[in-house]
Amino acid sequence: MVASFPRSVRIGSRKSQLALIQTHWVQGELGRAFPGCSFEVETMETQGDKVLNVALSKIGDKGLFTQELEDKITNGEVDFAVHSLKDLPTRLPEGLMLGCVTEREDPADAVVMHEKYQDKHLATLPERAVVGTSSLRRLAQLRHHYPHLTFKDIRGNLNTRLRKLDEGQYDATILAVAGLKRMGWGDRIHEILPPEVSLHAVGQGALGIECRSGDETILSILKTLEHLPTAQRCYAERAFLRELEGGCQVPIGVNTSIEGDTLTLVGLVASLDGKTLVKDIVSGPTDTAEALGTTLANKLREQGAQEILDAITAELRQN
């Protein structure tokens, strides 16, 4: 089998430390599965990596962390790219596809506290304590549950965000459990937010590997890393987001679980001020994952989700 893959395989990755940790994990797993192949990593910066002084919601949400990588795949410079799935748009460029979804790390959001508040939780932080987050999804839900707190945008990679926190620019920050664990910083997790407080981002905690459509050789390689339960959950989440036509920078949160052959999807759309939340749930067979996502999106739309999203889009354009 290995002999049928004589050439080296080129993997595209962002340059950030977390991106490289994730990509090198994929490289190692594939190297063990196909010892006769050479898997080489090529790195690049994306727009989202370069523009660090502007809130993500103000510079657009279509492919901020993926477009440059996608161009390399399309041009044949790399064979596939490793993404944090939450960064991958639900509508991919023509000729590209999601070739593999890996097993998910904990998709929840985590609170990291400044050292002076190690005896506190978000609920017990003092009035107007400053919490850093660059996610409108987190912002809207946390404003709803913790109106006594002040929220301030925070940009940069995980290293930069933790440094800003430790320097005292923020009293706490909200980060993905998965990213902290993959970086070896699980000990910085002070509190894991339950779904009742913060539904996570679509695809959070999973890796999505993007490749050229119809490249059967690469697809057969990537499928060795596919984790079917994670893929089913993420396809439901992505269908939900796609149907609502929401990018990564809108307050849309999800939570999924599988018991036996039944997949359950919870979805939420929130206003930026956190005062209006529309939330519902659907369940059905795992092999109808995408249909479940579409069904839930339509249920929320009937409850006013589209009006919330339209108002947010208009507000972001004005700002």
Q: What is the pLDDT of residues 115-144, one digit of tens each?
A: 999 999 999 999 999 999 989 999 999 999
SS3 138: helix
Residue 265 has phi, psi (to 5 degrees) of -125, 125
pLDDT bracket for residue 59 (50, 70, 90): very low
Q: 42-55 pLDDT, tens per residue?
A: 998 766 555 555 55
CATH architecture of 109-192: 3-Layer(aba) Sandwich (3.40)
Q: How far apart are CA 312 and CA 64, in angstroms?
A: 19
Cβ-proximal residues to 135 (8 Å cutoff; 6+ apart), any chain: 56, 174, 201, 249
CATH class name, domain 1-103+206-226: alpha beta
- Catalytic residue positions, numbered: 87
For the segment 104-110, the average pLDDT, to the nearest whole number, is 98
Q: Is residue 2's pLDDT more than 50?
A: no
- pLDDT value, residue 250: 83
Q: Where in the chain is the domain with CATH 3.30.160.40?
A: 227-319
Q: 243-280 pLDDT, tens per residue?
A: 998 665 689 999 999 999 999 999 999 999 999 999 99
- pLDDT value, residue 313: 83
- pLDDT value, residue 6: 45
Q: Where in the chain is the domain with CATH 3.40.190.10?
A: 1-103+206-226, 109-192
Q: Is residue 18's pLDDT more than 80?
A: yes
In the DSSP assignment, the letter for residue 13 is E
- pLDDT value, residue 3: 39
For the segment 69-77, the average pLDDT, to the nearest whole number, is 95
Q: 276-316 pLDDT, tens per residue?
A: 999 999 999 999 999 999 999 999 999 999 999 998 888 87
Q: How far apart are CA 164 and CA 170, in angstroms?
A: 7
Q: Is residue 1's pLDDT more than 60?
A: no
Q: How far apart are CA 232 and CA 191, in angstroms?
A: 28
- pLDDT value, residue 245: 80
For the segment 100-109, the average pLDDT, to the nearest whole number, is 98
CATH architecture of 227-319: 2-Layer Sandwich (3.30)
- pLDDT value, residue 94: 96
